[in-house]
Amino acid sequence: MKKVPAALLNKIFTLSPIAMCLLTIEKKQIAFANQAFFELVGYSQEDVENTSLQDLIYKKDFRKIVKRIDCLPDDNYVYEELRILSKGKSCKDIEIAIRKIAHSKKHYFLCTFHDISCFKESDRNLQSKIQEEQEKTLKTVKGIIRNRLLLEKIHVAPVLLREICKCKDVDTLAQKTVKLMCHGSGLQYASVNILLAEGEFLQVKHSNTSQPLQKFHLQKQHKFAQVFRGETKISSEETGEITVAIPSPVDSLGVLQIFLSEKERSLIETNSNLLQSHLDLVECLAQFIGLILHNLQRSSQISLQSHHGIVLLQKELATKISAEEDFCIMQIHWSSFDEDLLNYLQDMEELHGELSKNILSFKPTGSILFNVGQKDFFLIVPSKLIRSESAEAENIYRKLTQESYVVNENTIQPKIAVAARTIDEEVEPRDILISLLHCIDESKKKSSVFIWDGKVKPVRQRVKRKLQ
């Protein structure tokens, strides 16, 4: 290392408590250094002789730092934080200040070093605490977002169910359910597939995405078949898929498959409880959808049965009209006491035959009863059975008297007699038979078929006196 005048050493280096050194412009080698510098880096004067400062710097390009000096006016410093490798191979955090100086007709880089290790350690500890607080805050925010998204779905679910309850057929229900679960309903699932059982297959009824396969055999080991049979249900954190069976009071009707949105999927990756909550909600929706589907299917079957009953009724009417037989027609609607009425009709089996399981064909002697709906049927009765001298009429009269079955006029609809119990003592059961008989007599005069509306006629007293 070159010697410099003692006055310069004492003035610049020796007397300064700050670590300092001079670097050559060309090679950035240490030309001069003071004792404080050697104490900072842990090297002796011989160790650093003709050594480039770059060799002591940890993972930083010192040449890029000094290039910034050329862009600054004279007497300005360039400041930088870096790490110095000491002799013990430990790193110290240093703040360096660099500027150009001229000495003995030569130019040097004057470098001053400040040990900031204690400050950096405090800063790292502070940053670590800040990071921990940020992670806690982020976790809390994610929890709030997760709960909010789930609560929105729970609040919107009843609205969806009210809408799909209005559907009149299975196809419309499937389409509307998928639409409401994907768009504008608050559920906002990424994908929804509804598969319904048709024979031995599960058929994709409706989906908001294209499906490569449309049918799945119920006896195979495909995941849809397994879910349908109740062997498993699917809830995946990785894909956000939830697949459950669509149950009914009788049996499984199909499979409901949904995929959560990417935002929700990312939120449940670290929270299995949230995934379970989504699964519970989807299962609840599937149960309600199953009940609605079950009712629609029953209504469809009843409609087919009713159509068959009406066809038979029309044929029987045509036969009787062509034969010019004397008869009347009663169209009866079951009331809220339909179970009691059914029991009454079953009690009458001993007198009037068998009650059919499919079409309600209750057959009094010479009478025919056609089922044309879930709670409606037509009764064709020959007029001779209603006359007071008929033993059959006496049996009907006795049953009506014992069971107090009369027409409740408050619930009568046009051309419909509603059979129900009543506490109205002013209407006697025999009046119904008298009124019906009056209708038959009127139909004879007009030579036409009369459809009895079940109302007790105002002239019943006069008709009663006539019969007596």
How many separate domains does the chain show? 3
Yes or no: say if 377 and 332 are a contact pair by the CB < 8 Å rule: yes
Pairing of strands 327-334, 451-452: parallel
Tens-binned pLDDT, residue by residue, of the chain (468 aa): 444 555 665 666 677 788 888 888 888 888 888 888 888 888 888 877 778 888 888 878 778 888 888 777 767 788 888 888 877 777 888 888 888 877 667 788 888 888 888 888 888 888 888 888 877 776 766 666 656 666 667 767 777 777 877 888 888 888 888 888 887 556 778 888 888 888 888 888 888 887 777 788 888 888 888 888 888 888 888 888 889 998 887 788 889 998 888 877 777 776 667 788 788 888 888 888 888 888 777 766 555 444 444 455 555 555 555 555 544 444 444 433 344 444 444 444 433 333 233 223 333 344 444 444 444 445 555 544 444 344 444 454 444 344 333 333 333 222 223 232 232 334 444 454 455 445 545 544 544 333 444 444 433 333 333 333
Residue 79 shares a structural domain with residue 139: no
Residue 182 shares a structural domain with residue 79: no
Residue 366 shares a structural domain with residue 441: yes
Residue 440 shares a structural domain with residue 346: yes
Residue 173 shares a structural domain with residue 284: yes
Judging by beta carbons within 10 Å of its beta carbon (0-12, 13-18, 19+), is residue 235 exposed, middle or buried?
A: buried
Pairing of strands 368-371, 215-217: unpaired
Distance of CA 20 to the CA centre of its chain: 70
Instruction: Give, as one character, the DSSP assignment of residue 386.
Output: T
Domain membership flag for residue 444? yes
Residue 359 shares a structural domain with residue 440: yes
Domain membership flag for residue 314? no
pLDDT of 11: 67
Residue 438 shares a structural domain with residue 375: yes
Residue 385 shares a structural domain with residue 248: no
- How many CB atoms neighbour CB 90 within 10 A? 11
Domain membership flag for residue 122? no
Domain membership flag for residue 305? no
Yes or no: say if 218 and 202 are a contact pair by the CB < 8 Å rule: yes
Residue 191 shares a structural domain with residue 153: yes
Domain membership flag for residue 313? no
- How many CB atoms neighbour CB 211 within 10 A? 9
Domain membership flag for residue 189? yes
Residue 385 shares a structural domain with residue 237: no
Residue 164 shares a structural domain with residue 293: yes
pLDDT of 416: 26
Taking the C-alpha atoms of residue 139 and residue 104, their distance in angstroms, rounded to an integer, is 64
pLDDT of 303: 52
Residue 105 shares a structural domain with residue 164: no
- Host H or E run for residue 98: strand 91-103
Yes or no: say if 90 and 104 are a contact pair by the CB < 8 Å rule: no
Helices 170-182 and 117-164 meet at what angle, rounded to 10? 160
Phi, psi of 461 (to 5 degrees): -65, -40
pLDDT of 427: 42
pTM listed for this prediction? 0.40
- Six-digit token string for 278: 């989504």
**Domain region containing 237:** 134-298
The enclosing domain of 209 has a CATH number of 3.30.450.40
Domain membership flag for residue 60? yes
Domain membership flag for residue 406? yes
Yes or no: say if 176 and 164 are a contact pair by the CB < 8 Å rule: yes
- Six-digit token string for 313: 């009724």
